[in-house]
Amino acid sequence: MVDVIVIGAGIGGLTAAALLQERGFSTVVFEKNRFPGGSCSSFEKGGYTFDAGASVFYGFCDDDAMGTLNLHSRIFRKLGIAVETIPDPVQIHYHMPGGFDVPAWFDRDRFLESLCRRFPHERTGIRKFYDELESVYEILNSLPAGSLEDVIHLGVVGARHPLKVMALGVKTLFSMGNVARRYISDKELLRFIDLEAYSWAVQDAVSTPLVNAGICLADRHHGGINYPVGGSGTIPAALVKGFEKFGGSIRFGSEVSKVIVKNGSAVGVRLSDGTEVSAKAVVSNATVWDTFSKLVDDPRLRIPDDRFIKAPSWFQIWLGVDGSIVPPGFHMHHIIVDDWSKYDELGGTIYFSAPSVLDPSLAPPGKHALHLFVTAETWQWEQYEYRSQEYKAAKEAFAKSLIARAERLLPGIQDATELMVTATPQSHARYLNRRDGSYGPLLKPGQNILLKPQNRTPIKNLFAAGDSTFPGQGVIAVTYSGVSCASYIARQLGKALDYL
């Protein structure tokens, strides 16, 4: 018997586990794979270190007066673990049709002025719109992280910041796109604002909550974007180190097959080998679909397909290239759109990163590690037997077509490629244990962000963390979900967490 079992070593689950263990609760994490982090992990191939997925990281500013809560810095400080990072001066460099290129600089004035030069007739509207995002950031930056289901936490925050809590409540009613259209009318500029949302939410601005935008598009100018030395896998590795430092146990290669429920309450888990482990509380880091279709054997609790929008998955390419094709001053993150009418279609937008421009240790001398990916779905690949020769040939052909499109960004990239690794949505489904390899559940346009599932579930003592829960997708968002989940459980078990 342990206090808490966490299913899955994704960032949300690891964060909850580490904070609970540090607080004195005996916690064990079961992870199907042999590595932690899920899509926020790294792998090595041919002397290169590649990011498996995530590479844009908030929350690492050492100055607590800057950045929305700085959760990563505060968590690692609490765990006594050092994570070295490199500041990235540009969040994303956007490359759009008609020669419209703009880097989202850490320097807010520099970024806004670049937009104003392109759209001088929208100068006032640009400032007013981004000031709206700034106002959300200022509220969030002053409120401590905690569970929205914890009445004591809500009472403390409400008593200390009543006006800010009221203002934030009002802002949850609006979408980023609707606010943008209040101030801006230029169609090309509104397309860019849609792309700003799509870059992390995989939805247009009208479908993206204003509160989420206030974090992602304002915090980049305060806490900034910081890349962990050694790649994205450094983050889960550090969480595991902190977790184990306080006596936590993580069991890799251990897949949970069922949550054991008795009299309406979760009392433990059953592993795929039949082993059963008991606990006072269970945390699922799986998606809401997988939790209530695979882990919990109760058809009444299954999530209807129409409750959320299922985000697409990804087709990914990792490249080792001759470093001579990457010019000096090349930014790490890029987004490429060839045709505005197709940017939100499957494969329409190319996400591109070059982490070795910040951290040369990720590639052999004179080389660079690159990462390209586009939205995709499992049904596009169902015609092929997984890992068959036809499957491999189709992957290679599609990868070459994407690399050819990236010539616009890096001329000569096709001839300079020395190593290529690819992955389809089937790979995501297989390795991440996610329904269709999906990026996760998205709210429908117009839905209030507070309708996102929280940490509690319909089963007593079964909790949830990860991108299915508030606030949603992204590493810093799932980190918040882990903090709020740990906060709620700790109070329920009698030893509330200190605010980070």
Residue 389 tokens read as 């020769």
Cα separation, 421 vs 370, in Å, equals 11
Residue 77 backbone dihedrals phi, psi, to 5 degrees: -65, -40
Burial 49-77 (b: 16+ CB within 10 A, else e): bbbbbbbbbbbbbeeeeebbbbbbbbbbe
- β-bridge pairing 367-376 and 417-423: unpaired
Residue 17 has pLDDT above 70, yes or no: yes
Cα separation, 138 vs 484, in Å, equals 20
Range with the poorest average pLDDT among 162-171, 288-297, 333-342 = 162-171
Per-residue model confidence as pLDDT tens digits over 256-266: 999 999 999 99
373: left (phi over 0), alpha (psi -120 to 50) or beta: beta
Residue 450 has pLDDT above 80, yes or no: no
Cα separation, 420 vs 149, in Å, equals 46
Percent of the chain with pLDDT over 70: 100
Residue 416 tokens read as 């300079």
Q: What is the DSSP letter of 10?
A: B
Per-residue model confidence as pLDDT tens digits over 68-92: 678 999 999 999 999 999 999 999 9
Q: Are 457 and 489 in contact (CB under 8 A)?
A: no
The more confidently predicted of residues 243 and 172 is: 243
Residue 226 backbone dihedrals phi, psi, to 5 degrees: -130, 130
Reference 339, options 352, 348, 326; nearest CA is 348
Cα-based distances in Å from 307 to 11, 232, 338: 25, 32, 32
Extended beta strands in 346-473, E state: 349-353, 367-376, 417-423, 441-442, 462-464
Cα separation, 375 vs 354, in Å, equals 19
Residue 411 backbone dihedrals phi, psi, to 5 degrees: -55, 135
Cα separation, 205 vs 197, in Å, equals 5
Please report which residue ranges of 145-257 form alpha helices under DSSP H: 151-160, 162-171, 176-183, 187-201, 210-216, 234-245
Domains by residue range for the chain, with CATH: 2-40+71-83+228-305+442-492 (3.50.50.60), 107-226 (no CATH), 312-435 (3.30.519)
Cα separation, 213 vs 388, in Å, equals 42
Residue 4 tokens read as 């808490």
Mean pLDDT, rounded, for 295-316 = 90
Q: What is the DSSP string of 373-403?
A: EEEE-GGGGTTS-TTSHHHHHHHHHHHHHHH
Reference 419, options 319, 293, 289; nearest CA is 319
* pLDDT the model gives residue 105: 97
* pLDDT the model gives residue 380: 96
Q: Are 465 and 322 in contact (CB under 8 A)?
A: no
Helix (H) or strand (E) holding 260: strand 256-262
Cα separation, 122 vs 414, in Å, equals 39
Per-residue model confidence as pLDDT tens digits over 311-346: 999 999 999 999 999 999 999 999 999 999 999 999
Q: Are 475 and 236 in contact (CB under 8 A)?
A: no
Q: Are 103 and 94 in contact (CB under 8 A)?
A: yes
Number of other residues whose CB lies within 10 A of the CB of residue 189: 20
Helix (H) or strand (E) holding 491: helix 475-492
* pLDDT the model gives residue 168: 80
Residue 96 has pLDDT above 70, yes or no: yes
Cα separation, 195 vs 213, in Å, equals 12
Reference 62, options 80, 79, 85; nearest CA is 85
* Burial class, 426, CB count within 10 angstroms (exposed 0-12 / middle 13-18 / buried 19+): buried
The set of residues, in sequence order, having a beta carbon less than 8 Å from that of 203 and lying 6+ positions away, is: 197, 309, 442, 445
Residue 126 backbone dihedrals phi, psi, to 5 degrees: -60, -50
Helix (H) or strand (E) holding 253: none
Report residue 278's pLDDT band, with 50, 70 and 90 as the boundaries: very high
Q: What is the DSSP letter of 303?
A: P
What's this model's pTM, rounded to 2 decimal places? 0.94
Cα separation, 211 vs 214, in Å, equals 5
Q: What is the DSSP letter of 287?
A: -
* pLDDT the model gives residue 70: 86
Q: Are 482 and 14 in contact (CB under 8 A)?
A: yes
Number of helices (H) and strands (E) in the chain: give both, helices first.
15, 20
* pLDDT the model gives residue 146: 84
Q: What is the CA radius of gyration of the chain?
A: 22
